[in-house]
Amino acid sequence: MGADRRHRPSQPGDPRRDGDPRRDDGPRARRRTPLAASALLVCGALVLTGCASMPDSGDVSKVDSSPRAEIDSQVRVYGVPPGNGEQPPELVSGFLEAITSDEPDFDTAKQYLADEAQGAWDPFASITVLAQAPKVSVDPTAGKDGNGITILLTGTQLATVDDRHAYEPRERKYEERIHLAKFGAEWRIDSLPPGLVMGQPDFQRIYRSVNKYYFAELGPDAGASPVVGEDVLVADPVYLRKRVDSVTATVNALLDGPTNWLDPVVSTAFPTGTTLAAGEKKLTLDDSHTLNVRLNNRAARIDEVRCHRMAAQVFFTVQDQTSTELSSIRLERANGSELCSLSSESSRGYAPDRLNGRMDRKYRQYFVDDKHRVVSLSDEEDVASPVAGAFGLEGAQLGSVAIARDERFAAGVSRDGRLLYTSVLEPGAQRGVARLTSRAASPDNGLTTPSWDALGGLWVADRDPRRPRLLRLQNGTGTPEEVRVPGLGGGRITSLRISSDGMRLALLVERDGHTTLQLGRVERRGTAKAPEITVEGLRSIGLKLEDVDAASWAGDSRLVVAGHESRGVQKLLMYVETDGSPADIRTILAPGGIQTLAATEGQNRPLLAGAKEDGIVRLTTNGDWESVAKAGAGPVYPG
């Protein structure tokens, strides 16, 4: 944005307060309106999410934060129309400012365009996110143009958002051109690329990450879990505008269908072509906190079971977008008659959190102690105690452990990394024979820490350089099935975590001397007797880390990650969305030498870490790291 622009909030009584198009006599000012009563809430949030204190030992590095960005996100922005006699560079700068407004249809931005360009330009086609607002200059390579002038936009591109609202990290040099022509005495833009371009600060102010929900395509695993059944909802994150009718925009995005990356492994209960009924412009909750959604005739003849599945998708997609607690969803035909209704209580049968422990369940914390046995403790306990069964005995000789999500079963890897065992967590339970054997010569090349999905599948990787492979054991006791990962490109899996829904797999992949965080979708084909499972669509999560040391699921579509920057000093513990975008949670100061991380998708449990210098530590609700055990390894929650 031009250096001569001033940014100042509108004041009460100012004609700009409610988007009045009048301008003052000074330089162009983007119009910002503070949202009522937001300042105190923001200040409180900044105090609660400030820098966490650390254990007495371990390397600590300061992480910069930007409270100003948090406050700015609470300010409403309106566009300013072009002034008389504006020259091309100034006009383009004004246009770029206008597209960062909170206007729903970019009406002010369109005033910068020639009549034909107004009809051709699609502001919703895509968003290009740059590190900062694009630099504006006259294109020196355009040559003489008797009909107009070409303006060059340049910058550093960080990501794109497509027409399905899907975010994709894509860092590269940005260069684009806008053409202007003179219409009478005024310059107007007559040719420009589709979509929007803006700096990351504006993008973060205007857009928010929203989880849409679709049903998992379980293939041969359908019905594998009697508890979960086939109604498994999977989060699909997209970016939508924050303050432009968020509920309606979210429902429209849901009806558009899943993003391209997730589409192969999920489905929607809505019939093809379902949209909001004609005239259904804005969705709001009624006095009973019910959201009434009128659909077009494509959904007019669906049965009640399918209708309830549709309503469940709407419920969990919009529940965080309303200012009051959602009590029910009522789906209606185009004529206003009821298709079905789903209450918040009835929706629990579809809830994603029944898979990940968010339904008021306080998972215990588990790790392998200095006697190489599995121990656990609750938040209220200061000393961990051995678990029931074979894994809690002093002779267990385990190096890592994974606890099933029902906390009834466990899988453990021996100290030498070669053997995988499973056992029931009950008094007197036996370990039995090894379910899997690695031929690795050292623990670092042996089996990874296993991970359970909520369908009962147990996932583990063999790091043996002579035969690296990914395996799954159905119900934790079945014959190990080798899972193909076509996108590895010669890399080796060194750690993994499966999502509770079993459809997304987070992998640490070692290649060319560096370890990166990759995310793949789990595609299930074949039959129950002969399943064919692959991990497809492998993509790097956009982190500015040279090496990633540990990662864990920390939400339906969020991961927490520890790693090293290029200088090789571990100082970052950050949250990232599964689409690669930065999460709206501050980077946390971390103990030095983190080797493992443990969080829960329900986000209702303290963050755990296993560190070289500090042993097992956990992040308390007041923001302090506290010691759990001076010696031990591999802290985990169920999953």
Q: What is the pLDDT of residue 222?
A: 84
Please tell me the pTM assigned to this model.
Answer: 0.87
- Model pLDDT for residues 327-357, shown as the tens digit of each residue: 999 999 999 999 999 999 999 999 988 876 5
Q: Has residue 230 got a pLDDT over 90?
A: no
Lowest mean pLDDT among 61-75, 344-358, 431-445, 525-539: 61-75
What is the Cα–Cα distance from 328 to 292, expressed in whole angstroms?
Answer: 9
Q: Give 217's DSSP letter.
A: -
Report, as an integer, the average pLDDT of 450-474: 95
Q: What is the pLDDT of residue 92?
A: 98
Q: What is the pLDDT of residue 6?
A: 31
The closest of 365, 411, 415 to 391, measured between CA atoms, is 411
What is the Cα–Cα distance from 238 to 258, expressed in whole angstroms?
Answer: 9
The three-state secondary structure class of 364 is coil
Report, as an integer, the average pLDDT of 416-426: 97
- Model pLDDT for residues 472-491, shown as the tens digit of each residue: 999 898 899 999 999 998 99
Report, as an integer, the average pLDDT of 295-312: 97
The closest of 274, 277, 241, 244 to 256, measured between CA atoms, is 274
pLDDT level of residue 621 (50, 70, 90 thresholds): confident
Q: What is the pLDDT of residue 324?
A: 87
What is the Cα–Cα distance from 209 to 250, expressed in whole angstroms?
Answer: 11
pLDDT level of residue 585 (50, 70, 90 thresholds): confident
Q: Indicate the angle between helix axes 304-318 and 246-256, nearest 10 degrees.
A: 130
pLDDT level of residue 382 (50, 70, 90 thresholds): confident
Look over the chain and give the mean of its residue pLDDT values, rounded to a whole number. 86
- Model pLDDT for residues 215-226, shown as the tens digit of each residue: 999 998 887 666
* Bridge partners (DSSP) listed for residue 472: 459, 481
pLDDT level of residue 624 (50, 70, 90 thresholds): confident
Under a CB-based contact definition with an 8 Å cutoff, are residues 435 and 473 in contact? yes
Task: Kindly report the backbone phi and psi dihedral angles of residue 44, in degrees, each rounded to the nearest multiple of 5, phi listed first.
Answer: -60, -40
Q: Has residue 568 got a pLDDT over 70?
A: no
If one compares 570 and 203, the residue with the highest pLDDT of the two is 203
* 481, burial (CB in 10 Å: exposed 0-12, middle 13-18, buried 19+): middle
Under a CB-based contact definition with an 8 Å cutoff, are residues 460 and 498 in contact? no
Q: What is the pLDDT of residue 232?
A: 93
What is the Cα–Cα distance from 337 to 54, expressed in whole angstroms?
Answer: 58
What is the Cα–Cα distance from 431 to 390, expressed in whole angstroms?
Answer: 5
pLDDT level of residue 586 (50, 70, 90 thresholds): confident
Q: Has residue 99 got a pLDDT over 90?
A: yes
Q: How many residues does the chain have?
A: 639
Write the DSSP string, 294-309: EB-GGGTT--HHHHHH
Percent of the chain with pLDDT over 90: 68
What is the Cα–Cα distance from 540 to 546, expressed in whole angstroms?
Answer: 12
Report, as an integer, the average pLDDT of 61-75: 38
C-alpha Rg value of the chain to the nearest Å: 27
Q: Has residue 179 got a pLDDT over 60?
A: yes
What is the Cα–Cα distance from 459 to 481, expressed in whole angstroms?
Answer: 10
* Bridge partners (DSSP) listed for residue 176: 153
What is the Cα–Cα distance from 73 to 571, expressed in whole angstroms?
Answer: 27
Q: What is the pLDDT of residue 154?
A: 97
Cα torsion 347, 349, 353, 358: sign: positive
Q: What is the pLDDT of residue 528?
A: 83
Report, as an integer, the average pLDDT of 512-538: 94
3-state percent helix, strand, coil for the chain, nearest multiple of 5: 15, 40, 45
Contacts of residue 370, defined as CB under 8 A and 6 or more positions apart, other chains included, come to 629, 631, 632
Percent of the chain with pLDDT over 70: 85
Q: Has residue 169 got a pLDDT over 80?
A: yes
If one compares 586 and 107, the residue with the highest pLDDT of the two is 107
Strands 398-403 and 409-414: antiparallel
Report, as an integer, the average pLDDT of 191-206: 96
Can you tell me which residue has the tokens 């022509």?
181
What is the Cα–Cα distance from 588 to 114, expressed in whole angstroms?
Answer: 48
Q: Has residue 91 got a pLDDT over 80?
A: yes
pLDDT level of residue 144 (50, 70, 90 thresholds): low
pLDDT level of residue 593 (50, 70, 90 thresholds): confident
If one compares 150 and 614, the residue with the highest pLDDT of the two is 150
Q: What is the pLDDT of residue 19?
A: 36
Identify the top-confidence range among 123-132, 145-154, 576-585. Answer: 123-132
pLDDT level of residue 62 (50, 70, 90 thresholds): very low
Report, as an integer, the average pLDDT of 444-463: 96
Report, as an integer, the average pLDDT of 301-316: 97
If one compares 244 and 616, the residue with the highest pLDDT of the two is 616
Q: Has residue 69 got a pLDDT over 50?
A: no
Report, as an integer, the average pLDDT of 431-459: 95
What is the Cα–Cα distance from 252 to 282, expressed in whole angstroms?
Answer: 11
- Model pLDDT for residues 108-118, shown as the tens digit of each residue: 999 999 999 99
Q: Has residue 587 got a pLDDT over 50?
A: yes
The three-state secondary structure class of 93 is helix
Q: What is the pLDDT of residue 226?
A: 61
Query: ∠ at Cα 414 (410, 416), nearest 5°?
Result: 160
Under a CB-based contact definition with an 8 Å cutoff, are residues 317 and 210 in contact? yes
Query: Can you list the domains of the chain with their CATH numbers?
Result: 6-207 (no CATH), 356-636 (2.120.10.30)
Q: Has residue 190 got a pLDDT over 90?
A: yes
Q: Has residue 214 got a pLDDT over 90?
A: yes
Report, as an integer, the average pLDDT of 417-439: 95
